[in-house]
Amino acid sequence: MKNCKTTCSYCGVGCGISLSKDKDSFLSLKGNEHYPVNTGMLCSKGMNLHNTVMDKSDRLLEPQMRTAKHHPLQNVSWDQAMTRAAAVFKSIIKKYGPNSVGLYVSGQLLTEEYYLANKLTKGFLGTNNIDTNSRLCMSSAVVGYKKTIGDDAPPISYDDIENSDCFFIAGANPAWCHPILFRRIEKRKEQFPDAKIIVVDPRKTQSAEMADLHLPLIPGTDVYLFNAIAKLLIQYGAVDYHFLESHCNGGHQLLEFLKDVDLIESAQACGLELNLIEQAAKMIAKSKTLLSMWTMGLNQSSIGTNKNLALINLNLLTGRIGKAGSGPFSLTGQPNAMGGREVGGLANLLAAHHDLANPDHCNKVANYWGCGSVSSQPGLTATEMVDALDDGRLKAIWVICTNPVVSLPDLEKVERAYKNAKFVMVSDISSKSDTLKYADMILPAAGWAEKEGTMTNSERRISYVPKLIEAPGNARPDVDILMHFAQKMGFEDAFTYPNAEAIFNEHRELTRGTNIDICGVSYERLKKNSIQWPCPSTDHPGTIRLFEDFKFFTSDKRANLHVVEAPHQSEKTNSDFPLVLTTGRIRDQWHTMTRTGKVQRLNQHIPAPKLEIHPNDALELGIIDGENVEVTSRRSKSIIACQVTDSIRPGTVFLPMHWGYINGSKQARANNLTSDLVDPISKEPDFKYSAVRVQAL
Ligand code: SF4
């Protein structure tokens, strides 16, 4: 029997797992009782992670390629595949320039893989066209943190849960999507019943059901709500004027702005009784702490940046940051979205939190990589890549560890764009990815437990993820694939590493002297304990909570409050499209189901997608619970069974985002319908607000 300690590869909670392999390579697992995040607990997805690895029925085993669009894919050797891939990229770059190629990667990559993909693209292919599915997830939070505290640095630690007496959860359903964190909140409530839980969500989710107060606001109106709460906090004497004066900029302007906020108008805009908003503000005012938690309900919005800023204002106004139990706490969706951001995994970021817009930083990184130069112009984002494929500016794309043909908005356009591409290369572990349909080359990748590396969770905790088993067939770790490709491109000097640890060490050195300095972290240390960054020296224990000295990462060390107004930027509802569609996750599925979808036990919870609709809307439309309905947006339509439920507000409907093609049909996909509008700064799509109509069939 072989054992190892590893980390769950689903959500950003980052639970510790004890994984065992017997002599027949049969895997078993349990929660790691000694791991500080979960102390032995695992949710349904984590408990079944080994089953997704052991079931190899869908695994990609050999590289496949075709030499023309009308030819079938054929198995080839790795050398043939990489020779051809490099030849195609070289010829496209020569003919159309480096910005005609791009990479679209994933918050599920390990940090070493993410680092190499960024170094390859930004340093050596000569384009910043590398973006990640974290664009669909946390990019609004990244902008929110940078604009307020000066860097993309979640200040809290999970330990703050046990120190908090007020949880303000907005646009998140952690009971389903971050279950082990929510279990810690539940435990805190059991042990300290006076702690208050406030949930802001148009749906009465499981998180809302156990809250002290649920605010079922109209989708998209969060900024009105947060401004109204801020105004009430002034009235209730909860503003920390000393903190504002000593440690913040913009406090005076915000206080002046809030004088003109009309509470009755704000409540009407949110579709809430003013009394509910007053209750929320009173709970916050009476508490000693404030842990504000959010995820996609705020981030996936055409005003996602503003929602983040307005929420973080509440922590800053009350001085509840950098203290036990308090702070803004973005609940990261993916297991290594944080690690990806650390290595500059978005088209507008640079490695080790260097600033891509700063030519000095670009020169520093270029010198370190030995690549000559790095452009300070941002590359194409996830949705911009689709537009660029669609209109021909982008000719070749390499998709690694993500399934855009299910997860991006406006899928009719996405499919058309991928069909248009001259060359699509896809690295994945599963043959079930819908994106493979468009691939000219398929590269079989190793999965969790089949490769080693590191990940960073939502509280800045870096953990070591070991290899315990061999990948099946000829599947390879992504670092090996990236190195092989880079070598074929002629960059062997910069892309020859003996192992993943050497890549980590190179990344580590680039963080020296930055806000995320991890020069004290090594594989040797990580094999014993996980460590929260920053950790600048080998005798440093890591940093549990940031900003305990109230010196923020801004140039003047002061945090910034922002006056945030709430203009509606989403598409408009009208008589043709009178309802608002919002999308999200369900408890037992993960992303596009290429892993969780093959575990029978997980499919039992909600076996098929359903459109949630309020009984009033159903009655008006003549819709009966369980029957199929047609949902139409300005882009396309879906046909789907409906679930009539009063857990959603009237005027709003909900679809889970996980399902792609089902038995050859694409009619149940949520993203047939979604709008491709994005936040103007974070470029995160507006998944939570699409105008639709629903008709009985
Ligand atoms: Fe894995 Fe997240 Fe569940 Fe923990 S809460 S076991 S990290 S899916």
pLDDT (tens digit per residue) in 566-596: 788 999 999 999 999 999 998 989 898 888 8
Q: Is the CB of residue 31 below 6 angstroms from any atom belonging to ligand 1?
A: no
Q: Is 689 in the pocket of ligand 1 (CB under 6 A)?
A: no
- d(Cα 317, Cα 561) in Å, to the nearest integer? 8
pLDDT per 10-residue tile (average), the chain, 697 residues: 93 96 92 97 95 93 95 97 98 98 96 97 98 95 97 97 98 96 97 98 97 97 98 98 98 98 97 98 98 96 97 98 98 89 94 96 98 96 98 98 96 97 97 96 97 97 97 98 98 97 98 98 98 98 98 98 91 97 92 88 91 98 96 97 97 95 91 96 97 96
Residue 626, Cβ density class (10 Å: 0-12 exposed, 13-18 middle, ≥19 buried): exposed
Taking phi over 0 as left and psi of -120 to 50 as alpha, with beta for the rest, 613 belongs to beta
Query: What b-and-e string marks burial along 507-528, b requiring 16 or more CB atoms within 10 Å of the CB?
Result: bbebbeebbbbbbbbbbebbee
CA–centroid distance, 375 to ligand 1, in Å, is: 37
**Ligand 1 in reach of 477 Cβ (< 6 A):** no
109 near 117, Cβ under 8 Å?
yes
Query: What is 2-54's CATH topology?
Result: Phosphorylase Kinase; domain 1 (3.30.200)
> Does 579-696 match 64-136+335-496 at the fold level?
no
Beta sheet of 213-215, edge-to-edge order:
213-215, 196-200, 166-170, 291-294, 327-330
Which amino acid belongs to residue 683?
A: K
Cα–chain-centroid distance for residue 584?
12
Which amino acid would we find at residue 65?
A: M
Report the predicted TM-score, pTM, of the whole model to 2 decimal places. 0.97
Q: Identify which of 6, 9, 13 to mutate to test ligand 1's pocket (most ligand atoms within 8 A of the CB).
A: 13
DSSP H or E stretch at residue 613: strand 610-613
Q: Whose CA is nearest to atom 4 of ligand 1?
A: 15
Please give the class, per CATH, of domain 64-136+335-496.
alpha beta
Q: For the chain, what are the domain ranges?
A: 2-54, 64-136+335-496, 139-330, 579-696
pLDDT of residue 598: 84
Q: Give the whole-angstrom CA distance, residue 396 versus residue 91.
A: 11
49 pocket-lining for ligand 1 (C-beta < 6 Å): no
The CA 689 to ligand 1 mean position distance, Å, reads: 27
Distance CA 573, CA 694 (A): 13
H, E, C per residue of 269-283: HHCCCHHHHHHHHHH
For the chain, the first-to-last Cα distance in angstroms comes to 56
**Ligand 1 centroid – CA 180 distance (Å):** 6
The number of the ligand 1 atom at minimal distance from the alpha carbon of 17 is 6
- Taking Cα atoms as reference points, which of 609, 606, 575 lies closest to residue 588? 606
Q: Report the side by side order of strands in the sheet with 101-105.
A: 74-75, 64-65, 441-444, 423-428, 396-400, 101-105, 130-132
* Residue 17 CA to ligand 1 centre (angstroms): 10
Assess contact for 113 and 141: CB atoms under 8 A.
no
pLDDT digits (tens, 9 = 90+) for 146-163: 999 999 999 999 999 999
Q: How far is the CA of 36 from the centre of ligand 1 (A)?
A: 13
Give tens-digit pLDDT for 502-550. Answer: 999 999 999 999 999 999 999 999 999 999 999 999 999 999 999 999 9
Both structure tokens of 27: 């895997």
Are 311 and 249 in contact by the 8 Å Cβ rule? The answer is: no
Superfamily grouping for domain 139-330 = Dimethylsulfoxide Reductase, domain 2 (3.40.228.10)
Q: CATH assignment of 579-696, given 2.40.40.20, 3.40.50.300, 3.40.250.10, 2.30.110.10?
A: 2.40.40.20
8 CB less than 6 Å from ligand 1? yes
Q: How far apart are CA 263 and CA 320, in angstroms?
A: 23
